[in-house]
A and B are shown apart, each in its own frame.
Chain A
Amino acid sequence: MSEEINNVILDVLAKHTQIDREKVNLETRLNSIGVDSLMMVEIIFDLEERFDISIPDPEFVGQQNKQFETVADVVRVVKDLIEQQTAS
C-alpha cells in the first residue's frame, strides 16, 4: 500500500514536471524539478482526485511553499490524510 502511494505520487509529479520518473526520489526538492506554486495547485488537485482526500491549504499563504519542500513532504501529508480517512 505504502509503495503504491509513493508510486502514484511520483507518477503525478513526473507527469506535471515532465521529468523522468527515475530521476525523482523522496529527497528531491520540488523547486529543483520546476514545481512552482501554480503547478503545485494542479498537482494537489490531481492527488486529491486520485486518493479521494482533501488537502488543506497552508494556514498562511506566505508559507505556501514551505508546506511542500520535498517529495517526502507530499508523501507524508498524503499518507496522513489517507490514514485519517481510514480511521474515521
Chain B
Amino acid sequence: MKRIVVTGMGCISALGPDRREFTRRLLNGESGIGPITSFDPGDSLVRIAAEVKDYDGSVLFPEKQLSQLDRFAQFALVATREAVTDAGLDFKGSLSGRTAVVHGTGVGGQGTQEAGYHRMFALNEKRIHPFTVPKLMPSAGTSWISMEFGITGPAFATTSACASSGHAIGMAMLILRTGMADVAVTGGSEACVTMGTIKAWERLRVMAKDTCRPFCRTRGGMVIGEGAGTLVLETLEHAQARGAKIYAELAGFGMSADAHNLIQPLADGAARAMRAALDDAGLSPDAVDYINAHGTATAQNDPTETEAIHAVFGRHAKKLAVSSTKSMHGHTLGASSALEAIASIVGLNEQTAPPTANFREPDPQCDLDYVPNTARPMPINAALSNSFAFGGLNTSLLFRRY
C-alpha cells in the first residue's frame, strides 16, 4: 500500500493569521478566546468566541472576487495559500490533473445566508444578493481552491459537522492510496461566529460563559471558533521524487458511526474510530504517545472520550499525553480536525505535547494526563487526532514521525 505523507501546512485561526503564530501560541498555552467583537451579541448568553482577529479580506482579495467569497471560503484560500507555498508545489502541467482537492466545512456560507435572510425578513427588501447561492454552498471553498491553483483532478467537499475536515483528510488519503492522484490539498474551513449561529447554540445549553476548560471539573461547555487549516498530502514516492520536506506520515485513518443519538456521544463509537485508525496504520496502542482529543469541554464529551480512550488503550492510557487544543483555538466545527491535525504534527515535529489551556482542577470522571496549561517536551513518535461530530460521525487520524 502506498504511504502518504504531509508536505505542506497552513492555517488561520484565533491564534493568528498563519501557522507560525498558531504554533508559537499553541506551545505557549495562550488562548485565543475572548469577548465577541465582530458584532454585538445583544442579550445573548453566549458572549465569547475564538474569532480570527484583525482580519481584512480586502487586503488579500481583489474587490471583484470578494463579492463572491464568503468568509469561510476566504479562510480556506488563506490557509491553502500558505500550505501550497510551504509545500513548494506548482500545479502547472500534468500535476494539475493528478492533484485532488477535498476541503470540508460544517456549515458553509453562514454569514452569507444570514445577510440574505436579514434583508428579506427583517428589512423587507425585494432582492437579495445575486451571488448568495454560490457563496453559501459548502463546496465553495473547494471550488475556490481548485480555481486559484488550477487544480483539475478529483475535487469535492465533505460535511459531517465537527468531523468534516477529518473526513476530508481521510478521503484525500484514500484517493492517494488508490492511485487516483499523487497530491491532495485537504483540510477544512468554518466562519460561523455569527448572531444566528450563537443564538442557535445558546439554547442547546452546552456553551461556556467564561472560557473553554476541557476535562476540568469546573468546565462550562464549548466555545465556538472560526478559521481554516489546510494540509498538502502526497504519496511518499511523489514527495521523495521531488525532494520535498516531509513533516509527518499520515499512517492511519479510522472512521465510525455511533448509530445512537443526534447530540449525545457514545464511547463505543469513539473507541471504534480510534481502533480503526490503529489497525489501518498497523500500530499497537502502546505505539501512540500523544492524543489530540476532541475535548469540547461539554459535560457529555469529556468523560465519554476519556472512557473511550481507556477502552482502546487499556493500561497504556495512563501513559498517554492527552490534550484538547480547543482550549486555545476554540471549537472551529468543520475546520477543527484540520487545525488539530496541524497541532498534532507540531507536537511530532517539536517533540512537545501542546497543553490543555485554562485548566483549573481535575474532574474525577476524567482521569487521564491532560497536559494542563503548560506544553510538555517529550518523545512523540505517533499522535492520534480525534473528532467526534454531532450525530455520531467519528474520525481518528494517526500521524507518525517520518
Contact = CB atoms under 8 A, between A and B. Distances in A.
A64 B299 contact: yes
B28 interface: no
A57 B209 CA distance: 10
A87 interface: no
B31 to A, nearest CB: 19
Contacts of A59: 220
Interface string B185-224: 0000000000000000001111001000000011111000
Contacts, number: 34
Nearest to B303: A62
A62 B205 contact: no
Nearest to A48: B203
Given A62-B299, A62-B363, A64-B299, A41 B204 contact: yes
Interface in B249-264: 261, 263-264
B298 interface: yes
Contacts of B203: 41, 45
A34 B261 CA distance: 16
A61 B204 contact: no
Interface in A9-33: none
B264 A38 contact: yes
Contacts of A41: 203-205
Give the interface residue-count category, chain B. 10 to 19
Contacts of B312: none
B259 to A, nearest CB: 17
B45 interface: yes
B220 A44 contact: no
Given A57-B45, A61-B221, A44 B205 contact: yes
A54 B205 CA distance: 12
Q: Which of A41, A54, A62 has the most chain B CB atoms closer than 10 A to its own CB?
A: A62
Contacts of A56: 45
Interface residues of A, number: 13
B14 to A, nearest CB: 22
Given A37-B299, A41-B204, A41-B205, A60 B219 contact: yes
Interface in B42-62: 45
B217 A38 contact: no
B33 to A, nearest CB: 17
A35 B260 CA distance: 17
Contacts of A64: 205, 299
Contacts of A54: 45
Nearest to B298: A61
Interface string B316-357: 000000000000000000000000000000000000000000
A25 B209 CA distance: 34
A62 B45 contact: no
B282 to A, nearest CB: 39
A16 to B, nearest CB: 15
A45 B200 CA distance: 12
Interface in A51-76: 54, 56-57, 59-62, 64
A57 B217 contact: no
A61 B45 contact: no
Interface of B: 45, 203-206, 209, 217-221, 261, 263-264, 298-300, 363
Given A57-B205, A60-B220, A61-B219, 4 more contacts: A57-B45, A60-B219, A61-B298, A62-B363
13 contacts: A38-B263, A41-B203, A41-B205, A57-B209, A59-B220, A60-B218, A60-B219, A60-B220, A61-B206, A61-B220, A62-B218, A62-B219, A64-B299
